[in-house]
Each structure stands twice: as structure tokens, then as C-alpha cells.
Copies of this chain bind each other. A is one copy, B any other.
């Protein structure tokens, strides 16, 4: 498809093309394309850059992942379409397992996602073998099915672009949840222990850098006030809504 170079939103349109590419390769589902659009709008409201509040959340997330006993990175089609390399890198640095978990489940799509991750260097991708599957209690959708070796046994789970129901269920099940969510008002954002309100492509790069740096140091648990952090982000969005209106 032809995007004129002179178009002022060309950059954003090119990013969309990456997701369309992922869609055409069977990674992403139609609903995932719309979910991306929703994220785009919130990204616009934070000024399309990592805010200092996201930076704080990323630091807290890096610490939590490095201190975890058994961390897991939960992945879906959009996440892999946008940053497959980064997922594998983060997994290697933190020792986190990678597990595929889809809202719109399909065995075929799971396999495609796992293949892309393997191509990018992932040694193991959980969530595919029936013999290891079990359920998280109190959850209706297909996403309740998890891997016994992965999310089921994890202490810390990193969830990107997550469904609210599932985050609530993971919390009730005793997990510490780190979430990427561009909507600071979503249930996932509100319920997670650490919410990174940022474009996942930008945030993953910074999370990897931060983990690499912190890994050299002796770490202790830090307090992180997620609700307060989210409030700051909402204030930023409100200010930008006014600023943009007067541009």
C-alpha cells in the first residue's frame, strides 16, 4: 500500500504497516489491529514518547523481574508482531520464561507466534503443549488456560496489551503483575502491581537497557506506588489534551 512520504502522519502509518504485516503472516487477529488503534490514541496523548512516569515504572519492573523466583513473559500476537527480538532478549537477561496466551485462541496462531519467537532465538516457548495445560480459576475466556510450567507456577508475570478479566484473575491467583497498557484507566492498568503506560516497542527497549544495567548491582525490593504513578500519567494526558488544542 502506498503511503505518500509527504503525509505528516507517515511515521505512525508505517508502524501500522508492521502490524498489518504481522496480520498477514498470521500473528495478529483483526481485533488486535483495532486494539492497536486504541493504543495509538493514548500514545498521542502522552506525546508519543516515554514519560518520566513510564521511566519510573520501567525501573520498578526491571527490579521486580530480576528479583523474581520464576518470572514469565506472557505474549500475544500484537506483542510479537511489534517486538519479537526484544521479547527474546528480555527473557535471556532476566531468565524469564516465554508463554503464548491468546484472547482469541487458535492452535495455528499459537504455533506461528512460537515460530517467530524461535526464529528470533527463543529456546523454549510455553503454552503450546496440551499435556502441560491447566487453568487459572475464576476466568471465563480461553485465556484461563495456562502452562503448568509457566504462568501457573510463576511469581511475577509480565503481561502486554492485556485483557482486564485476565489481569484480575491473575491477581486473585496471587501473581505479581507487570502490565504494558497505554490506557491508564483500564482495569489492567488499575489492577496491576506495576503498569507501564507506554508504547510497547519503545518501553521494551528501555526495559532491556534497565535490566542490563541493574543486573550488575545488588538489588533489594523497592516500594512502587502504582496508583500514584497512574495519576501522574493521567495529569500528563490532560495537559497534552489542552496543549494540543492550542497548537
Closest to A241 in B: B238
Q: For the side of the interface on A, what is the size category? A: 35 or more
What residues on B are CB-neighbors of A41 within 8 Å? 37-38, 41-42, 183
What residues on B are CB-neighbors of A7 within 8 Å? 140-141, 165
CB pair A241–B245 under 8 Å, yes or no, is no
How far apart sit A42 and B244, CA to CA, in the bound complex (Å)?
A: 14
Residues 23-45 of chain A, each 1 if its beta carbon lies under 8 Å from chain B, else 0: 10000011101111111111000
Closest to A105 in B: B2
CB pair B33–A37 under 8 Å, yes or no, is yes
Residues 158-182 of chain A, each 1 if its beta carbon lies under 8 Å from chain B, else 0: 0000001100000000000000000
**Among candidates B6, B37, B141, residue contacting A39 with C-beta atoms closer than 8 Å:** B37
What residues on B are CB-neighbors of A204 within 8 Å? none
How far apart sit A37 and B39, CA to CA, in the bound complex (Å)?
A: 8
How far apart sit A152 and B140, CA to CA, in the bound complex (Å)?
A: 53
CB pair B20–A30 under 8 Å, yes or no, is yes
- By secondary structure, the A interface counts as helix
Flag the segment in A8-16, A47-55, A62-70, A113-121 that touches B.
A8-16
Q: How close is A81's CB to chain B, nearest CB, in angstroms? A: 12
CB pair B38–A140 under 8 Å, yes or no, is no
Whether a CB of chain B sits under 8 angstroms from the CB of A214 is: no
Whether a CB of chain B sits under 8 angstroms from the CB of A93 is: no
Whether a CB of chain B sits under 8 angstroms from the CB of A19 is: yes
8 A-B residue pairings within 8 Å (CB atoms)? A8-B187, A16-B34, A19-B34, A20-B30, A33-B34, A33-B37, A38-B41, A185-B241
| Given A2-B104, A234-B242, 20 more pairs with CB closer than 8 A | A2-B142, A4-B141, A7-B165, A8-B187, A9-B164, A13-B31, A16-B31, A30-B33, A33-B34, A33-B37, A34-B34, A34-B36, A34-B37, A34-B40, A36-B37, A37-B41, A38-B40, A41-B183, A185-B241, A238-B242
Partner-B contacts on A (CB < 8 A): 1-4, 6-9, 13, 16, 19-20, 23, 29-31, 33-42, 104, 140-142, 164-165, 183-185, 187, 230-231, 234, 237-238, 241-242, 244-245, 247
